[in-house]
Amino acid sequence: MDIKKIAKQMVAKGKGILAADESTGTMTKRLQSVNVESTSENRLNFRNTLFSSPKISDYISGVILFDETIRQKVSGKSISEILNERNILPGIKVDKGAKKLALSKDETITEGLDGLRERLKEYYELGARFAKWRAVYKISEKDNLPSKESIKANSHALGRYSALVQEANMVPIVEPELLMDGKHNINVCNDVTSMILEETFYQLANNNVDVEGIVLKPNMILNGSESNTKNNPSEVAKLTLNCLKKNVPSGVPGIAFLSGGQSEFEATMNLNEINKVNDSKFAFTFSYGRALQQSALKTWAKDLKDTKSVQHAFEERAKMNSLAAKGKWNKELEKAA
């Protein structure tokens, strides 16, 4: 299948991407937070409960998997087969995590380029049709972060990763995440996000990446979580839309936002506001992890065998975000759910 068609399928109207690619360490923390033991079997059971939800394909176009999950089977079927049967694209997280950037002031560089070509070939054979790589940046006005070196190094890695993914006939999700952490205001977030996106697309062009065959996964423009300033959804929407129109090539088929520490409700509300004012050619949707799974996880922890209640909680969140991806969500629908 053509990567441009896959990219369009990933951001199809009213559908988004489930980020179920938590590393074993992250998933262990999530399970421990609801007092469930983190075993390979429990991790698979929770994820497969979501993947086999009756209405999942109404709202979800693709699922980002972790290395452990894409190799697992349920009743003899691989996870990729289970997703394909529901017309959902399997994807794979391929980065090896953010490690300390040498001699920097608390900045990181995402690793995982070594051997990536060979790993992508194997993942393709395991059923993956898109991949994900996350670059992480933080704002510190005191230390003047992010530094130019951090932005260049991470953007360069995103460019090289994306080229290797397209060479393997898969779609790269390009995720430059500016963390919400910090005391900065929304305008600082806007300026720094613009710098990051500009360098990201410069490096993608340098690496001959076809932007019509990628999906961008950026942060929304928000106040820092320690700024004591509440986000105004209409301001978030206006600044986010303008930032992306200014810095993202029009050929990019779609933008799937990360939730970035927002609550389930905020992530849905802000996505909806962005779509209400969207006057661009971009499809704006979601690629959420915690903001799609948290309610389901809490429900599952009450009774690991109550599959229906878990799936209902997941489907409700997915449905709300599907409506937000069309600009058709409102608070009353949440109350009704």
Q: What is the pLDDT of residues 217-257, one digit of tens each?
A: 999 999 999 999 999 999 999 999 999 999 999 999 999 99
Q: Which domain holds residue 284?
A: 3-336
Quote the pLDDT of residue 299.
95
Quote the pLDDT of residue 231.
94
Quote the pLDDT of residue 285.
98
Global pTM exceeds 0.95: yes
Quote the pLDDT of residue 261.
87
What's the mean pLDDT in 34-44?
A: 93
- 337 pLDDT tier (thresholds 50, 70, 90): low
* CATH number, position 176: 3.20.20.70
What's the mean pLDDT in 20-31?
A: 94
What's the mean pLDDT in 252-280?
A: 96
pLDDT at 94 exceeding the cut of 70: yes
pLDDT at 173 exceeding the cut of 70: yes
Q: SS3 letters for the chain? A: CCHHHHHHHHCCCCCEEEEECCCHHHHHHHHHHCCCCCCHHHHHHHHHHHHCCCCHHHHEEEEEECHHHHCCEECCEEHHHHHHHCCCEEEEECCCCEEECCCCCCCEEECCCCCHHHHHHHHHHCCCCEEEEEEEECCECCCCECCHHHHHHHHHHHHHHHHHHHHCCCEEEEEEEECCCCCCCHHHHHHHHHHHHHHHHHHHHHCCCCHHHCEECCCCCCCCCCCCCCCCHHHHHHHHHHHHHHHCCCCCCEEEECCCCCCHHHHHHHHHHHHHCCCCCCEEEEEECHHHHHHHHHHHHHCCCCHHHHHHHHHHHHHHHHHHCCCCCCHHHHHHC
Number of domains making up the chain: 1
Quote the pLDDT of residue 300.
93
Residue-wise pLDDT tens digits, 60-78:
999 999 999 999 999 999 9
What positions carry a catalytic annotation? 175, 217
